[in-house]
Amino acid sequence: MQSRDTSVLLGQAQRGHGVIPASSDRMIIEQAHERSARYGIPRSAAPDYAPLGSSDLAGLLEQNRVLHQHAVPVMETLYEQIINTHNMVILTDVNGLIIHTLGDADFLEKANRVALSRGVAWSEKSKGTNAIGTAIAEQAPTIVHADQHYLEANSFLTCSATPIFDVSGKVIGVLDVTGDQHNFHRHTMALVRMSAQMIENQLFTASFQNAITLRFHSRPEFLGTLMEGIACFTPDGRFLSASRSGLFQFGLSLNALQTHTFSSLFGLPISALMDHHRTADPGLLYLSLHNGVRVYARCSNVRLPDKHFQHVLDNSRSAPVPPTKDEEKKSRLSSLRYLDTGDPQLAKAIDKIKKVIGRDISILITGETGTGKELLAQAIHNDSPRKTGPFVAVNCASIPETLIESELFGYEEGAFTGARKKGSLGKILQANGGTLFLDEIGDMPLNLQARLLRVLQERMVTPLGSTKSIPVNVDLICATNRNLREMIGRAEFRDDLYYRLNGLVVKLPPLRERSDLDVVIEKLLLAEGNGNMYRIAPDIMQLFRQHAWPGNFRQLSNLLRTAIVMTGPDNEIRMEHLPEDFLDQTGKT
């Protein structure tokens, strides 16, 4: 389903530099205009751009905490694919209130004219026809271009928005790319829709993180991609939920699936699944769906302890695991051995890491942005004695300062205005028995650094609003692209915390300094190729070797992902398949 939708969108984008709406799109716009007129909004009116007050904004962020956590890393990846195209990426809640934005500096001034900032409402009732509000009203992806906007003040914009659905199929927010109408980026809607599906899949797997999880597709090469179906079951085989791609492959609604079990859906007792995973090296399963379609599948969490399961059911709508970037890719790049691709600097760092794994020694990873610090942290966890425990990642720079304390340490019910009923466990306690990864530790506020140090020394966590301390046992990995020693000199980072964190300090070299670029590119092509073999033209490979890669691996992987989509039947990446911003950097435009 995803490949079909994407091909349609790519076909639309290739008609020209602007948007040429299909007839169905025109119908959506006409219906949206009719609704806007009924709301009594004059087309020439000056819109209401007043944002929420600070207290209401804090409440908005807390109410959408889970969505925000899972969406921000995906938004960063999406933004890197459209950077320098006079666009911005926007996340809203279900009512069209903006939660988070990322934008090009040269577009922000124009964006400020129409208040594309946090806390501003973009529902149809407040702004008339616009991609965000209309996507919510239609519960479908929507493009609104130039004067298709109901308000004349917004006619300089082109917007591509798609709803984000939760595990029960309800809209919980919108992902949108908005830009100047004269700088519409090809394939924008396809990228927005794929990014929204990434967010939905992460929300889904986090909501059922301890349930038996089956990933399946009729073609094995699509396992680990956005096209795979995901379904979750209890230990005795009762159906819990399925992702949107899973529902499509089952051919049944979520309500219809609630009456099924693993056995009725796949014609196989749950005990056979258990037996399969007791083997030393379980391979792919080959199952038959209830409708006769044969699928390949792999399973995780098949030995769920009974004592934990009620907690899974009680919290199946929450997301106790914070967001990861490119989660399906990490399942393939999952060990230190895989990451060791021949570069001497990296090999030396990995050798040091292997010596301290499992010895209760904190690891601090330094390096430029995009060098793969979180990927290395995940590999360390997967090679450690705690690999069966949780890996909880927290980006200290992406969580608002007003929320980071409650995010890390948790809180009791009623600890502050807007706190969720029954409170929140907090990321540190969620990592209990596993690994806590604190990314961008240099951005942690000073007052919280003291609390973190106390937790690390006493191995006890006291949630906000509680008088009871809870024991916690985690391995700690931190990462930063900042110079913590210099920050200590400026009194911006605590020296006692620094010396507690740097049991082992390893630096990831930037891509331009590594000698294994060819091997890295080969592995990325395999990871991104969905089972297809891609190659790079010799002149392009030489261009890659000469490039400085300011965005490091993040830039390289995003470039290859986009180039793969652009290739023809020969699967060769050539100059015409490379993004324009990359060619601008290399002087090849």
Residue-wise pLDDT tens digits, 184-231: 766 788 889 999 998 998 888 888 877 888 999 988 878 878 888 999
Q: What is the torsional sign of CA 384, 386, 392, 397?
A: negative
pLDDT value at 46 more than 50:
yes
Arithmetic mean of pLDDT, 110-135? 84
How buried is residue 308: exposed, middle or buried, by Cβ count under 10 Å (0-12/13-18/19+)? exposed
Cα–Cα dist 338/564, whole Å: 22
CB 364 within 8 A of CB 501: yes
Cα–Cα dist 131/178, whole Å: 9
Cα–Cα dist 232/211, whole Å: 6
Cα–Cα dist 261/266, whole Å: 9
Arithmetic mean of pLDDT, 277-293? 72
Give 140-180 pLDDT, tens digit per residue: 999 999 889 999 888 888 999 999 998 888 899 999 999 88
Residue 342 vs residues 338, 339, 346, 581: alpha-carbon distances, Å: 10, 9, 8, 29
Share of the chain above pLDDT 70, in %: 84
For residue 237, give both structure tokens. Answer: 């085989």
pLDDT value at 90 more than 70:
yes
Question: Is the whole model's pTM more than 0.85, yes or no?
Answer: no
Averaged pLDDT score across all residues of the chain: 81
For residue 20, give both structure tokens. Answer: 């040429």
Find the range with the poorest average confidence among 38-47, 362-371, 510-519, 533-542.
38-47
Given the DSSP bridges, would you call strands 239-242 and 229-233 parallel, antiparallel or unpaired?
antiparallel
Q: What confidence score (pLDDT) does residue 282 get?
A: 60
Find the range with the poorest average confidence among 19-28, 180-189, 405-414.
19-28
Q: What confidence score (pLDDT) does residue 493 get?
A: 94
Ranked by mean pLDDT, the top range of 12-16, 247-251, 411-415 is 247-251
Q: What confidence score (pLDDT) does residue 24 get?
A: 44
Find the range with the poorest average confidence among 68-72, 284-288, 475-479.
284-288
Arithmetic mean of pLDDT, 500-529? 88
Element (H or E) spanning 214, and its range? strand 212-217
Arithmetic mean of pLDDT, 290-314? 60
Would you give the distance in Å from CA 347 to the centre of its chain?
A: 29
Q: What confidence score (pLDDT) does residue 367 get?
A: 93
Find the range with the poorest average confidence among 40-49, 393-402, 458-467, 494-503.
40-49
In 3-state terms, the chain is what percent helix, strand and coil (to 5)? 45, 15, 40
Band of the pLDDT at 472, cuts 50, 70, 90? confident
Q: What confidence score (pLDDT) does residue 422 get?
A: 57
Higher confidence at residue 486 or residue 209? 486
Element (H or E) spanning 247, and its range? helix 244-250
Would you give the distance in Å from CA 81 to the centre of its chain?
A: 14
Q: Supply the Cα-derived Rg of the chain in whole angstroms.
A: 24
Band of the pLDDT at 112, cuts 50, 70, 90? low
Cα–Cα dist 460/430, whole Å: 13
Structural domains in the chain, sorted by start:
9-189 (3.30.450.40), 209-314 (3.30.450), 327-507 (3.40.50.300), 511-586 (1.10.8.60)
Band of the pLDDT at 322, cuts 50, 70, 90? very low
Find the range with the poorest average confidence among 415-429, 472-486, 495-509.
415-429
Cα–Cα dist 363/367, whole Å: 13
In three-state secondary structure terms, 334 is coil
In 3D space, the residue among 238, 227, 234, 214 whose CA is nearest the CA of residue 286 turns out to be 214
Cα–Cα dist 253/258, whole Å: 9
Q: Please, what's the largest Cα pairwise distance for the chain?
A: 69
Q: What confidence score (pLDDT) does residue 529 get?
A: 76
pLDDT value at 245 more than 70:
yes
In three-state secondary structure terms, 483 is coil
Sequence-ordered list of residues with C-beta below 8 angstroms from that of 77, at least 6 positions apart, any chain: 195, 325, 326, 554, 558
Angle between helices 401-409 and 446-458 (to 10 degrees): 10
Give 323-371 pLDDT, tens digit per residue: 344 444 444 446 788 888 889 999 999 999 999 998 888 999 999 999 9
pLDDT value at 240 more than 80:
yes
DSSP at 424? B
Find the range with the poorest average confidence among 411-415, 458-462, 556-560.
411-415
CB 554 within 8 A of CB 77: yes
Distance from the first to the final alpha carbon of the chain: 35
Find the range with the poorest average confidence among 11-15, 186-190, 287-291, 530-534.
11-15
Cα–Cα dist 189/296, whole Å: 30
Arithmetic mean of pLDDT, 391-418? 76
pLDDT value at 433 more than 70:
yes
pLDDT value at 522 more than 60:
yes
Q: What confidence score (pLDDT) does residue 589 get?
A: 60
Angle between helices 65-82 and 401-409 (to 10 degrees): 120
Find the range with the poorest average confidence among 124-138, 263-277, 335-349.
263-277
pLDDT value at 379 more than 80:
yes
Q: What confidence score (pLDDT) does residue 106 get?
A: 65
